[in-house]
Structure formats: structure tokens, C-alpha cells
């Protein structure tokens, strides 16, 4: 006999967890399925371990760059120990107990949809009024010839390893590749980063790629752009990757102890019977959803499996959207201005459109870029030889911000000012009236907005290119 529930949640990564929590709090009868660990990719193999191991090198850089403090040493054994604590030693028993305490039925097994509102997991059959699919994504490893011969890692091996290799080749110059290169290089691993695009982080604008390149190179990383991994082989203890240019010409080979793939992700949809719930898949296997995360009749999909914006914060947001729709208080999802942060050193952040995307949409734009060291005091009080850039993109007709990027210490924190402005379409006139705490990185927005040279209604606009002079409050320039 099958058991019946109000809602079944398939997959308890960040998306599924938020949806389940919200529904349980609202008094719904909820069953949750998880085939691995409650918390999903993010909690054990992705966001949490990667940000945990990136922090000690960042702290060391801070010590090296701040005047009057010295002596920071990295300790891999202690870092790995703290990382293991942060990933709960790959044990989710406390999470299972927590959900049971909250009133959920927890089934630690793979769920398959067998018909509308019907789910099978092992020998259990469940029916549910609503199904939320939150099954996430898997790492993609390109099918290179000889791949079976080499030591190939994805994020899973990389972020659970107890020993570090001496040399690693990283394939892919997007978020995973760039963060992983930063982490390992700072811990002394010799890194070659292979990227088939013309610039790193090529979903962002060219300046972001340029700055990322500069900082990664300064960290000692050997970066090969416009280059693809085409073949793999083993020679003794070495894993060898053969390379090719974009035109198909040989581009040499690289030998390493391990080859790490940061070559994208694919939605987990195969063989899970989603077609029985009337779900439609897109060209990349992603589940198609509407503004309320509806994927079919009483069927919802959230997180990486939708392929919309594969970030934890987006999975969590969609978890709220789907749960609220089920609870009869629907509000549509909007994805404008959601932040994108790459936790390198310094951090790289973006929100909204790039110039290229805006141009494709036919928007008349005005853009500006600010070198923070020329414009505000905080970079100087923060570190010697200060780093930091902010770029803004405005819609010249609507006089609102439509895009922003930032590269600098804690850029992942201060990008949220732009994110909110873009999401809420705050008039630039209003933004110009904001008063930021002195001395903070936030002050850069004021200067950059004034540089935009938009004809505004208020009297706050200044001449194009004018720079706020903060020198009256700045100490003499360090030589």
C-alpha cells in the first residue's frame, strides 16, 4: 500500500532543503528523499569546502598586504581538519534527525517518478499531491581519449582530499577552475590552467577576465587560453594531457600528478522517470519551468536541475518560490541582478547584464570603470598597494543600473548594493543620494555613479570623468 503526503521533495540540496523547511513550517505533511547526503553538493563537495579552504590563503594575503603585521603561515593539515568539520565528515545523521524532529518522513534512497504524483524509492511507494524536483547536477568530464588512464578529479575529490598533489592541471577557466586554481596555487601546488575560451570567466565582461588573469598569474598559475584538452595518457606516475589550439593545431602537452575537471555540470534528470510527471526537458537536459518553478501539473523544479542560474542562492530562492506557490501565496521569480561571486583573491563579483548582453538586447548604455585606489580611502586603509575595481553599466534612457562588476577585497559583499539597485530598478538619482559610511568600499558606488555622466534631474550630477578627491582624508602616499 502506498503512503500519501501533501508534498514530496526529491533531493535535499540547498534548494530542496529550503522548500521542505518552508512547507514543514506551514504545517504540510512532507516526505523528503535523499540518495546521498542531506545538504547536497554544496554542503559537502562544492561551496562549503571550497570557501573554507580558500579562506586561510586569503587571510595570509591580508597579513602580507597590511602594514605592520607579519608571520602568517599556511597549515594544510589544520585547514583540511577544519574543512572536514565543515563538511560534517560526510555524515548527515544530524540532518536526518533534524528533519524527523520537524515532522518530515525521511527516505534515504533514490526516488523515481512512476506516474503523476507517484514515486518509487526502493520498495516504498509514495503518492503526493505535489512533487518538487530538486535533484541538482553532476560534474561533466569531457570524453577524452585515454581518460581512464589518468588520475582525474572533479570537485568531489578536490574538495575532500587529505593530501595535496605537487602538480595539477586544471581544465576549465570558469568558476570552478579559477577558484580551484587559486586554492591549490596558494597552498604551493604547481598549477597549469587550461581554458578553451579567449579569456577567463568568459560569461563576464572582458575587463573581469583581464583582471582575473592578472591576479591568477601573480599567484604563479600558468594559464593557457584558447586551448582545449583533447587527449589523455599515463606515463609512469604522470597524468599527461595533450592540448590543441582553437584552430585544431597541436599545442603541446602538460604532465601532472592529477588532472582536475572544472568543465561544467549537467542536470540530474536521466533515468528518474520525470517524463511520467509531464515534465519537459530542454536541450541540455534541464527541466523547463515557469515563473513559479512549475514544471508540470502539481510538479515543481528548483535549483541546478532547472539550469537557470546554477548557484546555491538561486536554488534557495527557487525553493521559496515553489513552496510559496504550493502554499497558495504565489509570487513570480525574477532573476535580474542576482549576484555572481567567484571567491578568488581578491574576490570577483558581477550582477546584472554585461555590456555585450545589453547591446544584444538593444539597450542604449553608458558604462564606467573606477580604479578604487584613485577614488576612495578604504583600499589604502585596508592594504598596501591597494587592489580594487568597480564597473557600472546603466540604461541611458531609463536611468537605472542594469549591470555591475567588482574585483577587489570583499567584492562579494559590496556587490549586493548593485544587485539590489538592479533588482529593484532604483533610479540613479536615488542611488546618488545614498550616503555610504566613510571609509568603506561602498563609497566607490558614489564616485562611479557620478562618473557615469547621465543627465539626471537632481543637481548631484558632475562632469564626466570627474573623480572625487578624497586626498584631504588620505594619509601621504606610501612610497
Ligand X SMILES: Cc1cc2nc3c(=O)[nH]c(=O)nc-3n(C[C@H](O)[C@H](O)[C@H](O)COP(=O)(O)OP(=O)(O)OC[C@H]3O[C@@H](n4cnc5c(N)ncnc54)[C@H](O)[C@@H]3O)c2cc1C
Footprint of ligand X (CB under 6 A)? 10-16, 33-36, 40-42, 46-47, 50-51, 110-111, 134-137, 155, 176, 268, 272, 303-305, 310-313, 315
In angstroms, give the least distance from the CB of 467 to ligand NAD.
Answer: 31
**Which secondary-structure segment (H or E) carries 242?**
strand 238-245
In angstroms, give the least distance from the CB of 194 to ligand NAD.
Answer: 5
Q: Do the annotations mark residue 174 as ligand-binding?
A: yes
Which residue's CB is nearer to ligand X, number 12 or number 353? 12
> What distances in angstroms separate CA 304 from CA 38, 280, 326, 346, 366, one per listed residue?
16, 15, 20, 26, 33
Q: Quick check: 197 binds ligand NAD (CB under 6 A)?
A: yes
Which residue's CB is nearer to ligand X, number 311 or number 382? 311
Q: Quick check: 302 binds ligand NAD (CB under 6 A)?
A: no
Name the segment binding ligand NAD (CB under 6 A); options: 6-14, 249-257, 335-343, 395-403.
Answer: 335-343
Alpha helices in 252-343 (DSSP H): 312-326
Q: Which of 342, 339, 347 is nearest to 417 (CA)?
A: 339
| 427 vs 187: CA distance, rounded Å | 45
Q: What is the rounded (10 degree) CA torsion for 88, 103, 27, 329?
A: 30
**Which secondary-structure segment (H or E) carries 243?**
strand 238-245
Tell me which of ligand NAD, ligand X, none is bound by residue 264, counting a contact when its beta carbon lies within the kind-specific cut-off of 5 to 8 angstroms. Answer: ligand NAD
> What distances in angstroms separate CA 162 from CA 78, 79, 83, 190, one per listed residue?
10, 10, 10, 17
> What distances in angstroms separate CA 417 from CA 199, 311, 406, one per listed residue?
27, 19, 11
Q: Quick check: 262 binds ligand NAD (CB under 6 A)?
A: yes
- Specify the 3-state DSSP secondary structure of 458: coil
- Which of 171, 223, 326, 372: binder of ligand NAD (CB under 6 A)? 171
In angstroms, give the least distance from the CB of 411 to ligand NAD.
Answer: 12
C-beta of residue 134 within 8 angstroms of C-beta of residue 111:
no
In angstroms, give the least distance from the CB of 184 to ligand NAD.
Answer: 14
Total chain residues near ligand NAD (CB under 6 A): 24
Q: Do the annotations mark residue 479 as ligand-binding?
A: no
- Which of 22, 118, 195, 399: binder of ligand NAD (CB under 6 A)? 195
Q: What angle do CA 155, 161, 165 make, to 5 degrees?
A: 95
Q: Do the annotations mark residue 136 as ligand-binding?
A: yes
Tell me which of ligand X, ligand NAD, none is bound by residue 228, counting a contact when its beta carbon lies within the kind-specific cut-off of 5 to 8 angstroms. Answer: ligand NAD
Q: Quick check: 229 binds ligand NAD (CB under 6 A)?
A: yes
Parallel, antiparallel, or unpaired: how do β-strands 105-107 and 30-33 relate?
Answer: parallel
Tell me which of ligand NAD, ligand X, none is bound by residue 135, counting a contact when its beta carbon lies within the kind-specific cut-off of 5 to 8 angstroms. Answer: ligand X
Q: Quick check: 311 binds ligand NAD (CB under 6 A)?
A: yes
In angstroms, give the least distance from the CB of 200 to ligand NAD.
Answer: 9
Q: Which of 240, 244, 246, 247 is nearest to 230 (CA)?
A: 244
Which residue's CB is nearer to ligand NAD, number 131 or number 169? 169
- Other Cβ atoms less than 10 A from the Cβ of 295: the count is 26
Q: Quick check: 98 binds ligand NAD (CB under 6 A)?
A: no
The DSSP annotation for 248-282 comes to S-EEEEEEESEEEE---EEES-TTS-GGGGT--B-
| 7 vs 89: CA distance, rounded Å | 30
Which residue's CB is nearer to ligand X, number 10 or number 208? 10
281: left (phi over 0), alpha (psi -120 to 50) or beta: beta
In angstroms, give the least distance from the CB of 227 to ligand NAD.
Answer: 7
In angstroms, give the least distance from the CB of 283 to ligand X.
Answer: 19
In angstroms, give the least distance from the CB of 265 to ligand NAD.
Answer: 5
Q: Quick check: 382 binds ligand NAD (CB under 6 A)?
A: no
The DSSP annotation for 169-185 comes to EEE--SHHHHHHHHHHH
- Which of 16, 56, 310, 346: binder of ligand NAD (CB under 6 A)? 310
Q: Do the annotations mark residue 177 as ligand-binding?
A: yes
Amino acid at each position: 500500500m502506498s503512503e500519501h503526503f501533501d508534498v514530496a521533495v526529491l533531493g535535499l540540496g540547498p534548494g530542496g532543503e529550503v522548500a521542505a523547511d518552508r512547507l514543514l513550517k506551514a504545517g504540510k505533511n512532507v516526505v523528503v528523499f535523499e540518495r546521498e547526503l542531506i545538504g547536497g553538493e554544496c554542503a559537502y563537495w562544492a561551496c562549503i569546502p571550497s570557501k573554507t579552504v580558500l579562506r586561510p590563503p586569503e587571510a595570509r594575503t591580508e597579513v602580507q598586504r597590511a602594514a605592520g603585521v607579519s608571520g602568517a603561515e599556511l597549515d594544510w593539515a589544520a585547514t583540511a581538519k577544519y574543512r572536514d568539520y565543515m563538511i560534517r565528515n560526510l555524515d548527515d545523521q544530524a540532518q536526518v534527525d533534524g528533519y524527523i524532529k520537524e515532522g518530515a518522513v525521511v527516505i534515504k534512497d533514490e526516488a523515481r517518478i512512476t506516474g503523476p504524483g507517484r514515486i518509487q524509492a526502493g520498495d516504498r511507494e509514495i503518492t503526493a499531491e505535489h512533487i518538487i524536483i530538486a535533484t541538482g547536477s553532476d560534474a561533466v568530464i569531457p570524453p577524452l581519449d585515454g581518460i581512464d588512464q589518468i588520475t582525474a578529479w572533479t570537485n568531489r575529490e578536490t574538495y575532500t582530499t587529505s593530501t595535496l598533489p605537487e602538480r595539477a592541471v586544471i581544465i576549465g577557466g570558469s568558476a570552478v577552475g579559477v577558484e580551484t586554481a587559486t586554492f591549490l596555487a596558494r597552498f604551493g601546488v604547481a598549477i597549469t590552467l587550461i581554458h578553451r575560451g579567449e579569456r577567463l570567466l568568459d560569461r563576464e565582461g572582458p575587463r573581469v577576465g583581464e583582471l582575473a588573469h592578472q591576479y591568477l598569474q601573480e599567484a604563479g598559475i600558468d594559464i593557457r587560453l584558447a586551448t582545449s584538452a583533447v587527449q589523455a595518457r599515463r606515463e609512469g606516475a604522470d597524468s599527461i594531457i595533450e592540448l590543441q589550439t582553437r584552430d585544431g593545431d597541436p599545442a603541446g602537452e602538460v604532465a601532472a600528478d592529477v588532472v582536475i575537471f572544472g568543465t561544467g555540470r549537467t542536470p540530474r534528470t536521466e533515468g528518474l522517470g520525470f517524463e511520467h510527471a509531464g515534465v519537459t526537458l530542454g536541450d541540455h537536459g534541464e527541466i523547463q519551468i515557469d515563473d513559479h518553478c512549475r514544471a508540470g501539473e502539481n510538479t515543481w523544479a528548483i535549483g541546478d536541475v532547472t539550469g537557470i542560474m546554477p548557484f546555491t542562492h538561486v536554488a534557495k530562492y527557487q525553493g521559496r518560490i515553489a513552496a510559496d506557490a504550493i502554499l497558495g501565496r504565489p509570487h513570480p521569480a525574477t532573476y535580474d541582478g542576482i549576484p555572481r561571486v567567484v571567491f578568488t583573491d581578491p574576490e570577483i563579483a558581477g550582477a546584472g547584464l554585461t555590456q555585450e548582453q545589453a547591446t544584444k538586447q538593444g539597450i542604449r548604455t553608458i558604462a564606467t570603470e573606477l580604479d578604487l585606489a584613485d577614488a576612495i580611502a578604504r583600499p589604502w586603509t585596508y592594504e598596501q598597494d591597494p587592489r580594487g575595481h568597480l564597473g557600472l553599466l546603466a540604461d541611458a534612457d531609463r536611468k537605472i543600473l542594469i549591470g555591475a562588476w567588482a574585483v577587489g577585497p570583499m567584492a562579494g559583499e559590496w556587490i549586493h548594493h548593485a544587485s539590489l539597485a538592479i533588482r529593484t530598478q532604483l533610479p540613479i538619482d536615488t542611488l546618488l543620494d545614498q550616503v555610504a559610511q566613510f571609509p568603506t568600499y561602498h563609497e566607490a558606488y558614489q564616485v562611479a555613479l557620478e562618473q557615469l555622466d547621465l543627465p539626471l534631474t537632481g543637481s548631484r550630477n558632475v562632469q564626466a570623468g570627474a573623480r572625487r578627491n578624497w586626498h584631504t582624508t588620505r594619509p601621504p602616499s606610501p612610497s
